[in-house]
Amino acid sequence: MIKVLELKMTVTDSNDRDAEALRNDLKARDVFLINLMSSPGSGKTTLLSRTITDLKDRVKIGVMEADIASDVDAKRINALGAESIQVHTDGMCHMDAGMTREGLDGMESIDSRIVFLENVGNLICPAEFDTGAHKNVMILSLPEGDDKPLKYPLMFKKSDALVITKMDAAPYFDFDLDAVRKRVKAMNPDIRIFPVSAKTGEGMDEWESYILSEWEKWRNA
Amino acid sequence: MIKVLELKMTVTDSNDRDAEALRNDLKARDVFLINLMSSPGSGKTTLLSRTITDLKDRVKIGVMEADIASDVDAKRINALGAESIQVHTDGMCHMDAGMTREGLDGMESIDSRIVFLENVGNLICPAEFDTGAHKNVMILSLPEGDDKPLKYPLMFKKSDALVITKMDAAPYFDFDLDAVRKRVKAMNPDIRIFPVSAKTGEGMDEWESYILSEWEKWRNA
């Protein structure tokens, strides 16, 4: 049984303040929150499924799936044995800090683990609202094209890491990886970029090592 | 030189009324407005480019490109010889009827032609706002996956036609076309579905015949 929470937009005068408070509360509970943002259909859930399978013996992982409807993603994650919760955003195209807190409160156990928030599939609104996450990760799938950093600059600027998924489909598409690297680094020099394929496993080691090392760094900070 | 308009959200008590008024004004000027909606990276501009190339000797075509930043799409369209205008939505994830009217007013000539509005790349907000278009067309690219009708039902319900792009990549992805047909028809029995590849030309005839026949039907109505 997948738990589904129906959320309403949190009305508060300061989402930024709520986000900062949530970040601190989670620190006290040893919960490292990673916000995953992307277009619909970028392969977030597939990336997450493989990441959970590969890492679950080394770290506890929870997942919050945010969507406007359906619970198909939470079902996939639950089947892997990671605790997952589905939250619905009442038609809204992003999660704010209050909604994220409510979703976390709805999970059975979250202490001492990494929690991935799979944000609503959208390259615009999620970039504008701090969810309280400790890391923001953007996922761009290769079939979406190498022009996306030009068209949705804010999300590329706000992310700590960029995962480029579906690299195995490279022979089928004109996608200039070097051009993406240059465009993204020009607006966000510190961003880490991970080209991966969850299907073939290409690049998954680097991505998963990054997650583990950021988790360790954050715990020891 | 690409013309770029910066738009602000239209504040009005009734977007639906504005949309209906725009639809009637366009009818009087013999302008058939088609609203194209999709995720980022679904191949809207590529589909449009091929459609323009194939149809430009049979009907006059104009294009309004809506985006939050950049004018890369309008440049591609302009290179084909069709009049195009780029509008920026001030960070907003959709076009409303007032913004659409303003964009059309910014075009040099629009009478007696088909105008395609390439809406902001997003599967959520654009479905909620009537732009004043005569037809709504949704574009889903094969790499996005066959679960999208479950996750973004409103857009599939509101569209007159669904174009499934990048069909040439089928060997690379698990995409169940029959499942998509069933899911979409269950919520919208009258929708027309066109699987195409703008790269190989597969299905383009059916899609383009649909456009021309809807244009003729509408002119004679």
Residues A51-76: tens digit of each pLDDT: 999 999 999 999 999 988 888 888 88
Question: Residue B173 and residue A169: Cβ atoms within 8 Å?
Answer: yes
Question: Residue B68 and residue A150: Cβ atoms within 8 Å?
Answer: no
Question: For residue B40, which residues of chain A lie inside 8 Å, CB to CB?
Answer: 39, 123, 144, 148, 151-152
Phi and psi, residue B19, nearest 5°: -65, -45
Chain A: nearest CA to B111, how far in angstroms? 30
A56 and A77 Cβ atoms separated by less than 8 Å: no
Task: Tell me the per-residue pLDDT of A5-19, one tens digit each, with 9 for 90 and over.
Answer: 777 666 666 899 999
Instruction: Kindly tell me the number of DSSP H helices and DSSP E strands found in chain A.
Output: 8, 8
Chain B: nearest CA to A156, how far in angstroms? 13
In total, the C-beta contacts within 8 angstroms joining chain A to chain B are 105
The C-alpha angle A150, B136, B4, rounded to 5 degrees, equals 35
Q: What is the value of ipTM here, to two decimals?
A: 0.82
Best B92, B151, B155, B174 residue to mutate vs chain A (most A CBs within 10 Å): B151
State pTM to two decimals. Answer: 0.89
DSSP string, A42-108: SSHHHHHHHHHHHHTTTS-EEEEEEESS--HHHHHHHTTT-EEEEEE-TT-SS--HHHHHHHHHTSS
Task: Tell me the per-residue pLDDT of B22-80, one tens digit each, with 9 for 90 and over.
Answer: 999 999 999 999 999 999 999 999 999 999 999 999 999 999 999 888 888 888 888 89
